[in-house]
Structure 1
Amino acid sequence: MASDDCTKDDLQEENRTDSAIDSYRSILKSEEPRETSPDLSEPTDKFSTTEERLDSAYGSSSLTVDSLSEIVESFTLSSAEEEQAESSELSEQDENFLTTITEDGDTILHLAIIHEEELITQQLIQLFPKEVLDIQNNLYQSPLHLATYLDLTDVVKSLVEKGASLKLQDQDGNTALHVACQHGQTKCATEMTREVSPSKLAPIVETKNWRGLACLHLAALNRQHQMMKLLMKKGADLNIQEGTSGKTALHLAVELHDVTSVKLLLNRGANVDAAMFNGCTPLHLAVGRQDATIANLLFQSGADIMLRNMEDETALDLADGNYDILALFPFDDIQISGRSVVGMNF
């Protein structure tokens, strides 16, 4: 009996839009060539999402920037009137050249972005219908993922305006917004979220990658403070828990000893007593890491020092004789080696 369980790969395969290239074949027409573009520089190969990945060949021969330019100069998407009145069908060779996908799953649009050829990319975005913009390569990266990795803000803007999906996830479960949050591409994230209504944006912001991390978690883990502010402005859930241990962004910031993020989250209303799956609060983590500065911030923000985790430990139990931390808490009956903590000279 077949299993009803769906793997992550199954879910990704269902969401891929490779078939869009077939629908594109039926609407792609030729017309007069555009003006020749300026000379283009040689392609760069600085972009690689995995260390071993390089630009792939288009078919059996290498796709150069010159050939990219020639294709875009030769073709455009005709309007309905032009299609009926004067456009002729593309030759099979030309059509195949535009619609072929490489052995790495890249379309010509993917490759133009990888080469950081923005002029060609912008022309292709106008040339292709929305469905083709969402084709994912073998790493499940859409053109929007790649443009975000490379911080091509204008390309991101054009893709979003043309209707490119913000929901697509790559092989690690990251959406393009995840990528922006991880790498601090604030301008790209701004373009992705600018015109999206809060109701439609919320599911995207709260999407978790395969490590269980939402956008705010990635921003916090990478100390991307401006990105955190943008997400907060867009209504991100400050108390969303990552899927592995139930940490919130505040827990992550405490673990990193990131005072700036801790202050930012507390000032914006993050739950100071949020509990992980094991019951640990941010204060448990701060005290356990001997971080008196952050422990004090949490305490001043109302953290409950008597909450117990699943090991039945309070934050005080984890102080481990750290007088600087113990002195923060207003108890006059705490004794260490028979001496009261309050009033002791440390």
Structure 2
Amino acid sequence: MASGDCRKDGFLEESRVDSGIDSYRSMLKSEEQQREPGAELSGPRDKFSAVEERLDSAYGSSSLTAESLAEIVEGCSIATEEAPATGTGIAEHEENLITSITEDGDTILHLAIIHEDAFIAKQLIQLFPKEVLDIQNNLYQSPLHLATYLNLTEVVKSLVGKRVGIELQDQDGNTALHVACHHGLTMCATEMASEMSPSRLALVLETQNWRGLACLHVAALSRQHQIMKLLMMKGADLNIQEGTSGKTALHLAVEMHDATSVKLLLSSGANVDAAMFNGCTPLHLAVGRQDTAIANLLCQSGADTMLRNLEDETALDLADGNNDILALFPFDDIHISGRSVVGVNF
């Protein structure tokens, strides 16, 4: 990889998890609302834009309303704390009705969540076995994915209480926890992280989406500091490398020029000298981007200024004569007439 790659933000632009969804709620208020024909994303296809497609098509193609959802569920023997079910369950014809799947692969639970009817959704969650709760639609979205996208915390809580598959991935490889990390949905993330066993949570935290990003990477790219703290508290590997170029969350935070994330990661024990596949450390990236403040943070945390990447370059080689950055490097043994060479014009 060329030395200039340490300076470029190309990966950052490709890896940034930007959502094209401005407002789920406003979209769901009107069945007539449609996306602008021929609209194009201004870059790589957004990994989270699939939910917009799903919500748009499922809602628009369904004649269901909150009232009709209630009518479908009405009469079914759903146990509640106030009135536990006493029968053997729902009738066969009722079971066939409420477990039917639309042409988009949505169950009635998917549709209840899309309609943001938390009351009906929670009733269905109590009624359905786990196998039904884990059904994924044509975009491989489980009810947990949709409830998280829409920040329906109580529905998320009900789902994780039934031990649904939190590790399930949608068509872009995102688990529901990836979704929460991107959108800063701390309560949803907390519900998911709190209900899993340590071993199961560790597996989810290591899961990478199809762009190679684990949850901590997504949170760092989205500047979601609270969720980063949550993931760290739950044992996320601070030095896990994303799958395309081997960047850690610290590399990504440096690329984002996010000093808060850099401090958070360093104070939590992230490896300041972690190397990408091309050998670049976070210091290489900071210097290459002329970010003196973050380069200073890394140096104060003990970054090795003499490490070389695969192009045989140290971070100093990428300084391009920037005196502010050069001043961060030790040159105490190089003096001319008693004066340091740093800042001297020849």
Match of 1:311 in 2: 311
Match of 1:68 in 2: 69
Amino acid in structure 1 at the alignment position of 2:72: I
Match of 1:56 in 2: 58
Match of 1:231 in 2: 231
Match of 1:278 in 2: 278
RMSD: 2.6
Name the CA distance, whole Å, in 2 between partners of 1:305 and 1:259. Answer: 19
Q: Is the 8 Å Cα contact of residues 305 and 315 (structure 1) preserved in structure 2?
A: yes
Name the CA distance, whole Å, in 1 between partners of 2:28 and 2:74. Answer: 18
1:90 pairs, out of 92, 111, 128, with 92
Name the CA distance, whole Å, in 2 between partners of 1:67 and 1:316. Answer: 67
**Cα distance 1:61–1:258, how it changes in 2: closer, same or farther (>3 A)?**
closer
What runs of 5+ residues in structure 2 fail to find an aligned partner? 1-26, 34-47
Q: Is the 8 Å Cα contact of residues 130 and 164 (structure 2) preserved in structure 1?
A: yes
1:43, CA displacement in angstroms? 6.0
Match of 1:251 in 2: 251
Q: Is the 8 Å Cα contact of residues 73 and 98 (structure 2) preserved in structure 1?
A: no
Q: Is the 8 Å Cα contact of residues 296 and 328 (structure 2) preserved in structure 1?
A: yes
In terms of Rg, which structure is larger? Answer: 1
**Cα distance 1:195–1:89, how it changes in 2: closer, same or farther (>3 A)?**
closer
Q: 1:23-47 CA distances to partner (integer Å, 9 max, x unpaired)?
A: xxxxxxxxxxxxxxxxxxx963699
Which residues in structure 2 correspond to 1:2-13 (within 5 Å)? none
Which residues in structure 2 correspond to 1:78-157 (within 5 Å)? 82-83=87-88, 89-91=91-93, 94-157=94-157
Q: Is the 8 Å Cα contact of residues 130 and 162 (structure 1) preserved in structure 2?
A: yes
**Cα distance 1:88–1:155, how it changes in 2: closer, same or farther (>3 A)?**
closer
Which residues in structure 2 correspond to 1:170-249 (within 5 Å)? 170-249=170-249
**Cα distance 1:259–1:80, how it changes in 2: closer, same or farther (>3 A)?**
closer
Match of 1:324 in 2: 324
Q: Is the 8 Å Cα contact of residues 144 and 156 (structure 2) preserved in structure 1?
A: yes
1:44 pairs, out of 17, 29, 32, with 29
Name the CA distance, whole Å, in 1 between partners of 2:117 and 2:49. Answer: 15
Q: Is the 8 Å Cα contact of residues 327 and 341 (structure 1) preserved in structure 2?
A: no
1:67, CA displacement in angstroms? 1.3
Amino acid in structure 2 at the alignment position of 1:206: E
Matched residues, number: 296
Amino acid in structure 1 at the alignment position of 2:321: G
**3-state SS in 2 of match to 1:68:** helix
**3-state SS in 1 of match to 2:87:** helix
What runs of 5+ residues in structure 1 fail to find an aligned partner? 1-41
1:51, CA displacement in angstroms? 4.3
Match of 1:25 in 2: none
Q: Is the 8 Å Cα contact of residues 105 and 138 (structure 2) preserved in structure 1?
A: yes
Match of 1:296 in 2: 296
1:90, CA displacement in angstroms? 3.3
Q: Is the 8 Å Cα contact of residues 59 and 111 (structure 2) preserved in structure 1?
A: no
Q: Is the 8 Å Cα contact of residues 283 and 303 (structure 2) preserved in structure 1?
A: yes
Q: Is the 8 Å Cα contact of residues 57 and 102 (structure 1) preserved in structure 2?
A: no
Name the CA distance, whole Å, in 1 between partners of 2:315 and 2:70. Answer: 63
Percent of paired sites with the same residue: 75
Name the CA distance, whole Å, in 1 between partners of 2:63 and 2:222. Answer: 37
Name the CA distance, whole Å, in 1 between partners of 2:90 and 2:322. Answer: 81
Name the CA distance, whole Å, in 2 between partners of 1:315 and 1:126. Answer: 57
**3-state SS in 2 of match to 1:290:** coil
TM-score by length of 2: 0.80
1:100, CA displacement in angstroms? 1.2
Name the CA distance, whole Å, in 1 between partners of 2:219 and 2:49. Answer: 21
Q: 1:82-129 CA distances to partner (integer Å, 9 max, x unpaired)?
A: 32xxx78433xx443212101110000000001100111111111111
Q: Is the 8 Å Cα contact of residues 57 and 103 (structure 1) preserved in structure 2?
A: no
1:242, CA displacement in angstroms? 0.1
Please say which of residues 97-106 and 274-283 is displaced more in the overlay.
97-106
Q: Is the 8 Å Cα contact of residues 121 and 155 (structure 1) preserved in structure 2?
A: yes
